[in-house]
Amino acid sequence: MHGETAGETIPRFAAETFSSLKIRNFRLYFFGQAISTSGTFMQSVALAWLVLKLTGSGTALGLVMALQYAPILLLSPWGGVIADRYPKRRMLYATQSLAALLALVLGLLVGGDAIRLWTVYLLAFVSGLVLSVDNPVRQAFLIEMTGKERLPNAAVLNSSQVNLSRVAGPALAGVLIAAFGLALCFFVNAVSYLAVLVALFLMREEEFHVSPSVPRRRGQLREGFAYIRSTPILLNAVVMMAIIGTLTYEFQVSLPLLAEFTFHGNAEAYAALTVALGAGALIGGLVLAARQQPPAALVPLAAFFGVSVLLAAAAPTLPVAMLALLLVGAFSLAFTSLINATLQLESAPEMRGRVMSFWSITFVGSTAIGGPFIGWIGEHAGPRWGLAVGGVAALAAAAMGFILSRRTRQGVAEPAAGTL
């Protein structure tokens, strides 16, 4: 290894970084999702700006996010049961088609000047119902495409793809909103779902690592809760993600407020902040994809994540905030992709859908609780404080993770010592 030249190192690094893309089914999924997720982030920018245009209220923006994510918070465990019972590819055909239809309806209402705040609330809630099934199914589908060996790399690349879309989607949204208005963003998002549907159609059934379907029986939801509680490494990851998901991952609420009320910008300023966040995650993802982090790295990653969010909250200008958000994005991706891989690899195949439903609850559904709270803080105390609360929450999650990990190690060591 000492004599390895740069010409040898770069191809080896690239091969390790993108190793899971050698798998045809995952490669199709990856590029289909890249297109679709770009449309989703485009719509997120347009939706946030639509609500601020209708109300001028951070609380209303937080309420829209809450209505969208409340079904995920409440119903994802049932979505996890569905993921364990039924073929995941077939379920994704249904959920992705419904999501496309909702985006189309929103575009038609905005384009026809028939949009009202109550219709935004209603469509956000229905979208959450779809996501409460779609999220656990998509997460559990990942290992069926890649197998266990390639899953950590695939989880990082999948997160990197999401954050690349976080760059591309808002950047394009800023241009489209300025040139054509809000409606086109919703139409483009509706069309982008076709990429996923085509990718699913082109996949080869015989190349899947299919998890066994769980027959219908009573008590399966309770089994999922009990399994998480009885598995310390899963419980630790879920608790940390719950704290951070509730209060730190509220960027869809805090960044529009920061752009408009702190830096006195417009939709392009919000898009710039979101692009910086995604760019940092993309850079971090490319580095992380070639390495495998142990679950113990969750605690320091959460701490670094919290510090970087506090730096962004204290940034005096928009360019400085963008630089800080590069760090936020990098640590964000490292933390979430490691939790995702840990939950999937440490769970039994027949429980994976239910375990990943907790990922949906803590990472996505928790916005239903944190969104209005962070929106209220941002509106009444200032957007910087909304971000700062998230930074402190990430530090608290790191402390909680450290305590839980230490208790787990002591619980294992004490019986062992008693047997000597």
Alpha-carbon distance of 3 to 236, in angstroms, equals 42
pLDDT over 50 at 51, yes or no: yes
Confidence of residue 415 (pLDDT cuts 50, 70, 90): very low
Q: Considering Cα of 138, then 140, then 144, then 148, what sign does the dihedral take? A: positive
* Per-residue pLDDT, 153: 81
Residue 375 near residue 63, CB atoms below 8 Å: yes
> What pTM value is reported for the model?
0.72
Give the residue from 374, 63, 379, 66 showing the smallest Cα distance to 247.
374
What mean pLDDT do residues 361-384 have? Answer: 83
Joined together, the tokens standing for residue 93 give 């055909």
Joined together, the tokens standing for residue 203 give 């996949």
* Per-residue pLDDT, 361: 83
Confidence of residue 417 (pLDDT cuts 50, 70, 90): very low
Q: Which residue has the higher pLDDT, 170 or 12?
A: 170
What mean pLDDT do residues 79-97 have? Answer: 90
* Per-residue pLDDT, 15: 64
* Per-residue pLDDT, 7: 55
What mean pLDDT do residues 164-170 have? Answer: 74
Confidence of residue 187 (pLDDT cuts 50, 70, 90): very high
* Per-residue pLDDT, 420: 37
Alpha-carbon distance of 173 to 275, in angstroms, equals 11
Give the residue from 154, 127, 138 showing the smallest Cα distance to 80.
138
Residue 60 near residue 118, CB atoms below 8 Å: no
Strand ranges inside 186-330, DSSP E: none
pLDDT over 60 at 413, yes or no: no
Confidence of residue 416 (pLDDT cuts 50, 70, 90): very low
Give the residue from 323, 318, 341, 332 showing the smallest Cα distance to 391.
332
Q: In this prediction, what percent of the chain has a pLDDT beyond 70?
A: 90
What mean pLDDT do residues 113-122 have? Answer: 90
Q: Which domains does the chain have, with CATH numbers?
A: 21-205+219-411 (1.20.1250.20)
pLDDT tens profile 257-297: 898 888 988 778 888 898 888 788 877 777 765 566 677 78
* Per-residue pLDDT, 271: 80
DSSP string for residues in 268-285:
HHHHHHHHHHHHHHHHHH
CA distances, 277 to each of 29, 171, 330 (Å): 23, 12, 8
Give the residue from 223, 231, 319 showing the smallest Cα distance to 275.
319
* Per-residue pLDDT, 193: 96
Residue 220 near residue 81, CB atoms below 8 Å: yes
What mean pLDDT do residues 352-362 have? Answer: 84
DSSP string for residues in 325-384:
HHHHHHHHHHHHHHHHHHHHHSS-GGGHHHHHHHHHIIIIITHHHHHHHHHHHHHHT-HH
Q: Which of 116-120, 370-374, 413-417 has the lowest mean pLDDT?
A: 413-417
Three-state DSSP class for 397? Answer: helix
Alpha-carbon distance of 343 to 354, in angstroms, equals 10
| Position 132, amino acid | S
Write down the residue that tokens 């219709």 correspond to.
119
What mean pLDDT do residues 316-335 have? Answer: 92
Q: Which of 115-129, 180-194, 219-233, 404-418 has the lowest mean pLDDT?
A: 404-418
